[in-house]
Amino acid sequence: MVCVRCRIIVEEILTRLNVPFEKVELGKVTMSSGLTPDQRHLLDVWLAHYELEVMDNAKQILVERIKISIIEVFHSKNDDLLLKFSEHLSKDLSYDYTYLANVFSEVEGSTIEKFYIQQKIQRVKELIMYEGMGLKEIAYSLNYSSVSHLCKQFKKVTGKTPAGFRKDWQAPMKEKTENEIYIR
């Protein structure tokens, strides 16, 4: 559960099942009380329908926390991005960075740096689509060493250049009629 949409889905499922909860955050639900076996079964079934699941494994939970911490840093408006990536994770999760990197690789079969880059590019896409920001501004706000590096990384991860992506995103908007809405 590492996106806002997933959080909304989980809230709806819990409400539908009449399961009392205090709050739903990215990756974490604080329940008002424990789940009965029946509630847990139904919750598992409903979550599976949306390709989500309750995690019982401690390492999986830690990996989820790593992912959330990385995603949040790209959405923060403070100086977190100025802090070194490894220092931010260590500080946020109270573990040595190398331990976190080892657990991440073991559970995901991929490196933490790759996930970091994929999420950074996801944020670049959002800034292009929803904020209409230019590449210079995006490179600066996400602490890229250069615009050129941002473009190369974008192309590798998405298969498109940022300019191509922006064009594809804007094209349907120009052609849409009054009766159409577009959802991505």
Partner 1 sequence: MSANRYLLIIDDDSDDRALFIEAVKEIDATIRCVSADNGQHALELLHTSPDRLPDFIVLDLRMPRYSGKRFLFEIKNDQRLKNIPVIIYTTSKSVEESNELARLGACHFMTKPRNSGEIYYLASFILGEKWVLPESHMRPPDISN
Binding site for partner 1 (CB under 8 A): 84-86, 96-99, 101-102, 105, 110-111, 113-114, 116-117, 120, 143-146, 148-150, 152-153, 156
Pick 68 or 112: Cβ nearer partner 1? 112
Pick 156 or 176: Cβ nearer partner 1? 156
Pick 122 or 153: Cβ nearer partner 1? 153
Task: Give the three-class secondary structure for 29.
Answer: strand
Is residue 53 within 8 Å of 44, Cβ to Cβ? yes
Q: How far is the CB of 109 from partner 1 (least distance, A)?
A: 8
The C-alpha atoms of residue 136 and residue 118 are separated, in whole angstroms, by 19
Pick 49 or 156: Cβ nearer partner 1? 156
How is residue 76 written in tokens?
A: 């923060």
How is residue 59 written in tokens?
A: 């390492």
Pick 60 or 153: Cβ nearer partner 1? 153
Q: How many C-beta atoms lie closer than 10 Å to residue 30's C-beta?
A: 9
Q: How far is the CB of 23 from partner 1 (least distance, A)?
A: 33
Element (H, E) at 163: helix 162-175
Q: How many C-beta atoms lie closer than 10 Å to residue 5's C-beta?
A: 9
Furthest CA-CA distance within the chain = 54
CA proximity to 1, closest of 89, 67, 74, 92? 67
